[in-house]
Structure 1
Amino acid sequence: MNRFPPALCCEIIRFPRIIISNFDISIYNNDIKLKSWIENQFFFGKSNYKYLKYAPFCDGESANLCIHLGKKRINQPDITSDLNLGEEYLYNGIPINTHILDKYELTKKKFITIHRGIDNDQIKESTKLWPQSHYNDLITKLKLSFPDIKIVQLGVSHERCESMQNIDINLIEKTTLPDIAALLKNAWLHIDCEGGLVHLRHALKGGKSVVIFGPTSPSFFGYSENINIRSDLCKYPCEWLTENWQKKCIRKSNKHICMKSINADIVMNKILEIFQPIG
């Protein structure tokens, strides 16, 4: 049993937080960079204590702070700019199972992955989700412009992810995480709301995603390589303005207009700005 607690312990949820335990900063005098980082985290934590104490309820407000300081979610932990973190990073994560590409005859083929779903610990019909009918309209348009490219639907379960119309390969409930990694790594395009699969594809350097934003901000959660779409009919993101922001739109009229107003034509036109139609 270790009788001596660590001299330094910190946690990172969104911002770093120094946990003081048997801590004497003077022992780091020989490491100027580390000492400076520690001092800066203490200063930030003291000046912005509410973001640490009241997370996640202040996460929307802290996102605005990050945008003002030129930070995104990906480099929010480097809020003091001591580490020079950007959007790119080395990813050594889960294995990638490319056998699934052979299984569904997708190896060395162009295909589009598409997803509509949210984490299991969040409400099924989150305000972050683009309407199912809009997805179905978009698939029709994709097939007209890109008839030779297969459309593959991803999803954790049928209970969480409703099957879309006219897809070519339905992989809801048929994939492991390594399978998903292979599909996202090799897809010609991925279409989704702001969420985990978009972040995983970026980490894998898989290429562009079309990301449809609503209550969260593309300036904070978006990646520069992606086609990030958000309506200007709802001017400000509403993430964490209320505790149940994912369940209930804060607008009394024109509810969920941030998502409903982004129709399939808008998304398709954005795609065609980047990719030429086939045929």
Structure 2
Amino acid sequence: MIKKLLQLQRYRLLSHILWGKKGRHYIEKYLSSKAEMDQSQKSFPLKDSHTLRIAIAEGGGLGDAIMQTLYIKEIRKLFTGKIVIDFYCRAFPAFKNFPFIDNCFPYTDNHPSSNYDVYIVSRRFYIILACDEKKVKKFSKKFLLFCKWCKHLTDDILDGEYNDNLFSQYALLFGKNRLEQANVHNILPITRHTKTYCDLDEESFGILDEYGLTTTPYITVSRSVDCKYNGNHPKLWPLDYYEDLVGHLKKRFPYIKFVQLGAEFGYGRINGIDLNLVGKTSLNQVKILLKYALLHIDGEGGLVHLRHILNGVSAVFFGPTNPKIFGYENNLNFRSAGCVNPCEWVTRTWTNGCLRGLKKPLCMQNLTPDAVFTSIVSYLEKIKLYIYESQYEQTLSKIEKSTIAFLGMPGQTDIQWAKGNSLIIYTPDLTLRSNCDLFHQGQKKDFFAEYASPYNIPSENNYYDMVYINQLEQCRHPFYALQEALRILKPGCYLLVEIKTQLILDAVNKICTNKQDLKYGLLKITKKDYK
């Protein structure tokens, strides 16, 4: 015990000497994660013939981890037998409530591959450290084919050269972006348009009220990179450019608040910001703030990827990273011609500053606020407003709509009802962790099922002809669940919801222009363009 205490004290002293408070924070965070890992491994279940145990380990930042959640979700759907999928990453607390992930652990370079039938390390492509091919074949031939292809790619084609820039160049040969990179040969059902997932913590919605953002339109802004890097990182857009942009936007839109987000150790406070929340929020609270912002402004990084899986739009500054790899089509992506070729991972020291030796990287210096301002103004002015009207329905009439979203926990009756082009969104609250039957039923019975949160539905805006919500009474915040359901509904179409509590009716009356008295039954909400 004394030896361990001395070792701990040496870690803290060394970190304080080398990096001060920031270094001490890193080491203490590492030691805390290591302790949690050690504790979890003590009670690790033994492998058995009836359960396939898979681990995916991602050592990158938040954005890299978010990419992996899409793969874990789609890999789970391949199986009908009992499987366990564990996720090792640095931001592991953020994914503990994802319904398709069984366990989240802190990332470690000492990979516990012997505990798993399949152990994968993500380096943009997948490195297969362990694979019991005979056992995997019994559960899913397609997943075995994917594992074999990954091993062939890294061992034979790339010849063990694990370089992120090389991986990106190889993916571009096939027209693939970062999201599709590990599936470059299309073995898994994953494309850049595959539905994503992100939960919203019901305990964290209070942050909107706390800072007066419930009824005030706002834009989130961030100037940060992975916290292990310093302020010379070439991905950082100049601080004075941020201030210039924010100042002009505030003059153009004086009713919009600007909220700065970021980790505890930020990379400069932006003057002119209305609300500085750098280092003052949990990741769950950041999700809420990003979800309900009009726009997020940032350099390419983790919060941009988080905003994407929350179905939001970002204005993104690209410098050393390639928008063809890291960009999303629905975002406002900016890159100047100051430096023609992206230099990410051309050398291992690319994060220390401009590789051309310039004090200020031209790729960012030449990306002026004026061009960014014009595009953002154009986007904000095109945001459409809608009004909603409600009325009670006696019975559910025959449905002849072409695209339908069913939100809730469907029973067999609901599954029979959802046919043809209709879609069931399943809000599982962790109940599907070991059961993917609904997805396989959908393949046989002509409907599509997907993981979702009632507050974050994986769909574009204004897509469905009709939306039906089931079991809304289970949501603590029905107002935000209704808002999300109405987001995906086309103008001129309607949403159906059962009024079972006063809380649900209050949420409806808060959204709709007309008010209803409490009457238990079916309520129809019609979405109309605001004129």
Which TM-score tier does this pair reach, normalised by the shorter chain? 0.7 to 0.9
Summarize the alignment of residues 180-195 of structure 1 with structure 2, pairs less than 5 Å apart. 180-195=286-301
Shift of 1:137: 0.4
Change (3 A) 1:149 1:94: closer
**Residue 285 (structure 2) aligns with:** 179
The 1-side partners of 2:249 and 2:187 are apart by 44
**Identity rate, percent:** 35
How big is the shift at 1:8? Answer: 3.6
Seen in structure 2, the aligned counterparts of structure 1 residues 113 and 79 have a Cα distance that, compared at 3 Å, is same
Query: In the aligned structure 2, how far is the partner of 1:251 from the partner of 1:113?
Result: 32
The answer (yes or no) to whether the contact 2:123–2:164 under 8 Å persists in 1 is no
Question: What stretches of structure 1 of length at least 5 have no aligned partner?
Answer: none
Question: Is residue 198–residue 310 contact of structure 2 (8 Å, CA) maintained in 1?
Answer: no
Aligned pair partner of 2:213 in 106, 110, 113: 106
Q: Structure 1 92/263 Cα, relative in aligned 2: closer, same or farther at 3 Å? A: closer
Matches within 5 A, 1:146-161: 146-157=253-264, 159-161=265-267
Matches within 5 A, 1:108-257: 108-157=215-264, 159-205=265-311, 207-252=312-357, 255-257=360-362
Structure 1 stretch 63-72 or stretch 98-107: which is displaced more? 63-72
Tell me how far 1:42 sits from its aligned partner: 2.8
Task: Check whether the contact 1:146–1:277 (CA below 8 A) recurs between aligned residues.
Answer: no
In structure 2, the residue matched to 1:38 is: 147
Q: What per-residue deviation string (whole Å, max 9, x for no partner) do you get for residues 64-92 of structure 1?
A: 22122122112222222111312343324
User: Could you say what secondary structure the match of 1:275 adopts?
Assistant: helix
Structure-2 residue corresponding to 1:9: 119
- For 2:217 and 2:139, locate their aligned partners in 1 and report how far apart those are by CA, in whole Å: 54
Greater CA drift, 59-68 or 11-20? 11-20
Q: In 1, Cα distance between the equivalents of 2:151 and 2:381?
A: 51
Letter aligned with residue 188 of structure 1: L
Q: Does the Cα contact within 8 Å between 2:200 and 2:288 map onto a contact in 1?
A: no
Partner SS for 2:381: coil
Q: CA deviation at 1:255?
A: 4.4
CA distance in 2, matches of 1:252, 1:191: 27
- The counterpart of 1:64, out of the listed 153, 169, 173, is 169
State the TM-score, normalized to the length of structure 2.
Answer: 0.48
| 8 Å Cα contact 1:66/1:76 also seen in 2 | yes
Structure having the larger proportion of residues in strand: 2
After TM superposition, give the deviation of residue 253 of structure 1 in Å.
5.2
d(CA) in 2 for partners of 1:165 and 1:92? 32
Please say which of residues 2-11 and 192-201 is displaced more in the overlay.
Answer: 2-11
* 1:254 CA displacement: 7.7
Q: Of 254, 275, 279, which residue of structure 1 is paired with 2:380?
A: 275
Structure 1 CA distance for aligned equivalents of residues 177 and 139 of structure 2: 32
Q: Structure 2: which 5+ runs fail to align?
A: 1-44, 49-113, 384-531
Rounded to whole Å, the distance in 2 between the matches of 1:48 and 1:29 is 28
SS, match of residue 73 in structure 1: coil
Q: Give the 3-state SS of the residue equivalent to 1:153 in structure 2.
A: strand
Does structure 2 conserve the Cα–Cα contact (< 8 Å) formed by 1:112 and 1:190?
Answer: yes
Question: How many Å apart are 1:39 and its aligned residue?
Answer: 2.9
**Counterpart secondary structure, 1:239:** coil
Residues 19 and 169 of structure 1, relative CA distance in 2, 3 Å threshold: same
Provide, for residues 223-245 of structure 1, a one-character-per-residue CA deviation record: whole Å limited to 9, x for no partner: 11110100112110000112211
C-alpha separation in 2, matches of 1:99 and 1:61: 44
Pick closer, same or farther for the CA change 1:151–1:255 going to 2, 3 Å: closer
Q: What SS does structure 1 have at the residue aligned with 2:121?
A: strand
Report if the CA contact (8 A) 1:29-1:35 is conserved: no
**What amino acid maps onto 2:128 in structure 1?**
I
Query: Equivalent residue of 1:16, what SS?
Result: strand
How many residue pairs are counted as aligned between the two chains? Answer: 271
What CA distance in whole angstroms lies between the structure 1 residues aligned with 2:184 and 2:247? 43
- Report if aligned partners of 2:124, 2:167 keep a CA contact under 8 Å in 1: no
Which deviations, in whole Å up to 9, do the C-alpha atoms of 1:95-149 show, x marking residues without a partner?
A: 2611111111111431000010122211233110000000010011101221111
Deviates more, 1:255-264 or 1:245-254: 245-254
CA distance in 1, matches of 2:332, 2:280: 27
Q: Distance in 2 between matches of 1:177 and 1:61?
A: 32
**Partner SS state of residue 180, structure 2:** helix
Aligned-partner SS, 1:192 = strand
* CA–CA distance in structure 2, aligned partners of residues 268 and 37 of structure 1: 44
Q: TM-score, normalised by structure 1?
A: 0.87
Higher relative contact order structure (alpha carbons within 8 Å, sequence separation ≥ 6): 1
- The CA distance in 2 between the partners of 1:232 and 1:255, in whole Å, is 15
- What RMSD in Å do the two structures reach over aligned CA positions? 2.5
